[in-house]
């Protein structure tokens, strides 16, 4: 079991962001973990019919099956490390773990066309 598996299991058991769970996320992911927790607390994880989206500071990022459309994922993360994740992907895991995903009964592709 990896450190990521550990905090995910602890989060699933607690069902909330307890001090130890938060600490484990930040210890595992550093600044990315902190940013993910902030995004969840600000309800910036959105679930649409077709995609899960995290609202970042400059854009919105699609997260699908742990993969993200952000530049951090594309350029900075080791593709051979299954635990490497950008803060957007971490935020999706955390939001789902604490049932804090902002659900929208519409297609993101339709919303994105309006932006």
Confidence at residue 1, expressed as pLDDT on a 0 to 100 scale: 67
Confidence at residue 94, expressed as pLDDT on a 0 to 100 scale: 97
Q: Which of 92, 94, 76 is nearest to 84 (CA)?
A: 76
Q: Which of 13, 8, 59 is nearest to 33 (CA)?
A: 8
Residue 114 has pLDDT above 70, yes or no: no
Q: What is the pLDDT of residues 54-103, one digit of tens each?
A: 999 889 999 999 899 999 999 999 988 878 999 999 999 999 999 999 99
Tokens coding 42: 């600000």
Residue 112 has pLDDT above 80, yes or no: no
Portion of the chain with pLDDT greater than 90, in percent: 80
- C-alpha distances out from residue 77 to 10, 68, 99, Å: 24, 11, 27
Predicted TM-score (pTM) of this structure: 0.92
- Within 10 A of 47 (CB to CB), how many other CB atoms are there? 17
Residue 22 has pLDDT above 70, yes or no: yes
60-64: strand order across its sheet: 67-68, 60-64, 52-55, 45-47, 102-103
């Amino acid at each position: 079991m990896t450190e990521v598996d550990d905090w995910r299991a602890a989060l699933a058991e607690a069902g909330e962001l307890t001090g130890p769970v938060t600490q484990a996320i930040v210890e595992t992911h550093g600044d990315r973990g902190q940013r993910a927790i902030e995004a969840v607390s600000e309800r910036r994880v959105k679930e649409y019919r077709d995609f899960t989206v995290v609202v970042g500071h400059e854009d919105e990022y699609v997260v699908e099956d742990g993969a993200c459309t952000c530049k951090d994922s594309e350029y900075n993360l080791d593709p051979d490390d299954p635990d490497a994740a950008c803060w957007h992907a971490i935020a999706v895991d955390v939001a789902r773990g604490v049932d804090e995903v902002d659900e929208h009964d519409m297609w993101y592709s339709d919303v994105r066309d309006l932006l």
